[in-house]
Structure 1
Amino acid sequence: MADRLVCLAGQAPAAVGLGSSPGDGDEVRLLGQGESFAAWLLEAGGQRVVVRIARRPVAELPRPMGEEFHGLSLVSAGIGPQALVLEESADNPLGAPYMVVSFVPGRILPPGEWTPALVRAHAQQMAGLHAQRFDRCGDITAPVEERRERVDIAGQFSAGLDWWADNHPAVLAEPDVTRLARAVGAYLRDAQKTFDRLESFALIHGDLMLPNILVDGDTTVRYIDWEWSEIGDPAQDLAYLGGLITVDPWHLPMTRARTRDLIEVYLAASEHRAATGTVEEVLVRRDAWEVYERFLTSLHHRSLLAGRLDMTGSERDMYALAAAHVTRELDRRFG
């Protein structure tokens, strides 16, 4: 793929978001690979871009590439990358759909290096991300009239279980999964009334776990990998950082006092405090998103253990420990 990128950048630099072709000393290297995309850094003439190349057919991606690309077009400068090029067809010199975004500097910090000052800076950056508000929620590219009037977390969870029943019935049939699915569903249905009071919605990242937060210097944070961006509940972004149910290396362990401080700092920086809700209301919704995400992600980990024969031993251990830990913590919460 590196050779293809170099060839395309040399012949048509605009196709990969560059103003000039790479030359001697310029850089082409793999930044990392996820389940859906591989990210490549290209540098030419002082300009650095990231090419995100799909690793699976478009129809098999969890979300359409256009959602991420158009979501980035709404993001203010300094919060995330700039959207540059979208190529949704595989009929191109790279042989796969891709998008190009500007390079975002920074590093991913492990949980132990997150300071209280950094958490507060993250809360303030999220308030900036959520500054633009919408009357309806849903997909970014959906017409306004097709968006929803409320966030239905209980309905989303039920739909998620239906998907798992259709696609991975053996995972959903595991006794501890079946037991917890009932408990989580009841908990989310009870929390739904607080979601119904939410007065407006924001562009959210949708996956603000530690690996998607880059830290530049001591307290400058920027967000990458916007695959799950949508118009939704700001409390969802607050939840995915961490909390009481956490899995290393994705989440930051947080006490209740630290979680409340996160919310208070966020609301103090928000232009829409009244519409977002009181500290207690945001805390209820944040907690619900935490349970929602941890449980559904644990199903994903279980499915990988059952279906991925190419995993390394360390990967298998990581996913097995993650699924067991979330199950144990949810049992403690609902037992």
Structure 2
Amino acid sequence: MADRLVHLAGQAPASVGLSSSPGGGDEVRLLGHGESFAAWLLEAGGQRVVVRIARRPVVELPRPMREEFHGLSLVPAGIGPQALVLEESPDNPLGAPYMVVSFVRGRVLPPGQWTPALVRAHAQQMARLHAQRFDRCGELTTPEEERRETVDIAGQFAAGLEWWSDNHPGVMNEPDVTRLARDVGAYLREAQKTFDRLASFVLIHGDLLLPNILVYDDTTVRYIDWEWSEIGDPAQDLAYLGGQITVDPWHLPMTRAQTRDLIEVYLAASEHWAATGTVDEVLIRRDAWEIYERFLTSLHHRSLLAGRPDLTEQERSMYTNVATHVTRELGRRLG
């Protein structure tokens, strides 16, 4: 793939977000890969861009690439990358759909290196991200008049369970999953009335786990991988950082007092704190998103254990431990 990128950059630099062709000393290297995309750094003529190449057919991606691309066009400067090029067809020299975004400096910090000052900086950066308000919520490319009037977390959860039952019935039929799904559903239905009072919505990142937060110069944070961005509830972005149900290296362990402090700093920095809700209301919604995300992610880990015989022993052990840990902690939280 590196050779293909170099060739494409040389023949058609604009197709990978460059203003000129690469020269001597320029670099192409793999930054990393997830389940949907591989990210390549392309440095040429003093320019640095990231080419995110799909690792699966477009129809199998969790979200359309154009959703993320459109979302990046709405992100205020200094928060995430700029969207440069979108190629949704596999009929190109790279042989796969791809997206080009500007390079964002920084590194992912493990939970143990997060300081209180960094958490505060993150809360303030989220408030900047959420500054623009919308009357309706939903996918970014959906016309505003067709978006929803409320965030229906209970309904989203029920739809998610239906998808899992249709596509991974073995996972859903595991006794502890069946029991926990019932308890999580009841919890979210009780929390729904607080969601119904949310007066307006924001552009959310939708997946602000620690690996998607880059830190530069101690307290400067930037956000990458906007695959799950949409118009939604700001409390969702607050929830995914961490809390009391955490898995290393994705979440930051936080006490109840630290979680409340995060919300207070966020609301103090927000231009729309009144529309977002009181500290207690945001806390209720944040808790609901934490439980929602942890449970559905645990189903994903269980599905990997059931459907991926190619997993290494290390991977199998990790996913087993994660599923067991999250199931136990959710049981304690909801018991």
TM-score, normalised relative to structure 2: 1.00
2:228 maps to 228
Residue 23 (structure 1) shift: 1.3
SS of the residue corresponding to residue 121 of structure 1 reads helix
Residue 316 (structure 1) shift: 1.3
Alignment of 1:229-268 (within 5 A): 229-268=229-268
SS of the residue corresponding to residue 79 of structure 1 reads coil
1:207 maps to 207
2:79 maps to 79
Alignment of 1:98-137 (within 5 A): 98-137=98-137
Letter paired with 1:89: S
* Inter-partner Cα distance in structure 2 for 1:76 and 1:86: 19
* Inter-partner Cα distance in structure 1 for 2:318 and 2:226: 24
Unaligned runs of 5+ in 1: none
* Inter-partner Cα distance in structure 2 for 1:64 and 1:48: 25
* Inter-partner Cα distance in structure 1 for 2:142 and 2:281: 28
SS of the residue corresponding to residue 149 of structure 2 reads coil
Letter paired with 1:86: L
2:219 maps to 219
* Inter-partner Cα distance in structure 2 for 1:238 and 1:281: 13
2:39 maps to 39
Q: Is the aligned partner of 1:59 residue 2:89?
A: no
Q: Is the aligned partner of 1:177 residue 2:211?
A: no
Letter paired with 2:52: R
* Inter-partner Cα distance in structure 1 for 2:229 and 2:260: 24
Residue 308 (structure 1) shift: 0.9
Residue 315 (structure 1) shift: 1.3
* Inter-partner Cα distance in structure 2 for 1:181 and 1:47: 48
Residue 30 (structure 1) shift: 0.3
SS of the residue corresponding to residue 14 of structure 1 reads helix
* Inter-partner Cα distance in structure 2 for 1:21 and 1:318: 43
2:140 maps to 140
Q: Deviation per CA, 1:276-323, whole angstroms, max 9, x where unpaired?
A: 000000000000000000000000000001111221221111111111
Letter paired with 1:103: F
* Inter-partner Cα distance in structure 2 for 1:313 and 1:223: 32
* Inter-partner Cα distance in structure 2 for 1:286 and 1:268: 17
Q: Is the aligned partner of 1:12 residue 2:51?
A: no
Q: Deviation per CA, 1:82-114, whole angstroms, max 9, x where unpaired?
A: 000000000100000000000000000000000
Q: Deviation per CA, 1:35-56, whole angstroms, max 9, x where unpaired?
A: 0000000001111000000000
Alignment of 1:15-30 (within 5 A): 15-30=15-30
SS of the residue corresponding to residue 109 of structure 1 reads coil
Q: Deviation per CA, 1:210-249, whole angstroms, max 9, x where unpaired?
A: 0000000110000000000000000000000000000011
* Inter-partner Cα distance in structure 2 for 1:10 and 1:319: 42
Residue 3 (structure 1) shift: 0.7
Residue 146 (structure 1) shift: 1.1
Aligned Cα RMSD in Å?
A: 0.5
Q: Deviation per CA, 1:167-188, whole angstroms, max 9, x where unpaired?
A: 0000000000000000000000
2:155 maps to 155
* Inter-partner Cα distance in structure 1 for 2:162 and 2:186: 16
* Inter-partner Cα distance in structure 1 for 2:45 and 2:313: 42
TM-score, normalised relative to structure 1: 1.00
SS of the residue corresponding to residue 86 of structure 2 reads strand
* Inter-partner Cα distance in structure 2 for 1:265 and 1:144: 30
Aligned residues: 335
* 305-314 or 30-39, larger mean C-alpha shift: 305-314
* 302-311 or 65-74, larger mean C-alpha shift: 302-311
* Inter-partner Cα distance in structure 2 for 1:102 and 1:14: 13
* Inter-partner Cα distance in structure 1 for 2:289 and 2:303: 21
* Inter-partner Cα distance in structure 2 for 1:241 and 1:314: 25
* Inter-partner Cα distance in structure 1 for 2:244 and 2:58: 35
* Inter-partner Cα distance in structure 2 for 1:217 and 1:308: 39
* Inter-partner Cα distance in structure 1 for 2:313 and 2:104: 32
